[in-house]
Structure 1
């Protein structure tokens, strides 16, 4: 039972602009070590109050569309937000996890992440004040 749960934290450089960072390859690499061909669940969690995890298509512009929609829904106008520290409009970053949650739990079959054909696991970070993020990957199986 000791190998039923395995967890690892990875560091991601997000830089100083809004970003969508693809975590799919890192999830697959983690599962190669942790799942060892077993079925189970992968939980992806970002322990930050201003970032989230999304499962969407990338590479066709959807990642940029997501950032555009978030900008429309949560504009970075300073006078709109009561939470006012950091760069102007930073209050929006603290609302982001209500729209893009800080976690996702995904099925693992035979040690492989079971995503749909065009799905990717993404870190969504609109907070330009934090250039580095941590993501915790946990396998239960």
Structure 2
């Protein structure tokens, strides 16, 4: 068994789903492991990780609108240290995931045809986000 670890820094322009599959694909391929398990972990509490449809932009827009409805920006939250999008960002992150696991076979991630890896930025303003990658395998 071998292991490899890496950290990606992603700059987001603001709220939305930001695909970073190519960066992960390239890193996994460079590790030279044929079979294994990749873990991705975002080191923040106001964004999340998703594996989502990467062919139809409407699917991502619908997803964003859904989360805006169930956790709307508001001044009614007690936690609003960084503005009205602060607590909704935490709620949206709590409803999604901070880590993902993706099998690796043949030296590649085993993603479906229309699947991509996304950072789901829940804050309105631009941010720099860190995603830790860990690959174990042979």
Fold-level match, TM-score > 0.5? yes
Do structure 1's residue 101 and structure 2's residue 77 form an aligned pair?
no
Shift of 1:125: 0.8
The 5 A counterparts of 1:1-141 are: 1=1, 4-15=2-13, 17-34=14-31, 36-60=32-56, 61-79=58-76, 81-129=77-125, 131-141=127-137
- Deviant stretches of 4+, over 2 Å: none
**Alignment check: 8 A CA contact 1:100 1:124 kept:** no
TM-score (norm 2): 0.91
**Alignment check: 8 A CA contact 1:108 1:114 kept:** yes
Superimposed CA distance per residue, residues 117-141 of structure 1 (whole angstroms, 9 cap, x where no aligned partner): 1111111011134521111111111
**Alignment check: 8 A CA contact 2:11 2:126 kept:** no
Aligned pair count reads 136
TM-score (norm 1): 0.90
Shift of 1:43: 0.7
**Unpaired stretches in structure 2, ≥5 consecutive residues:** none
- Measure the CA separation in 1 of the matches of 2:54 and 2:75: 30
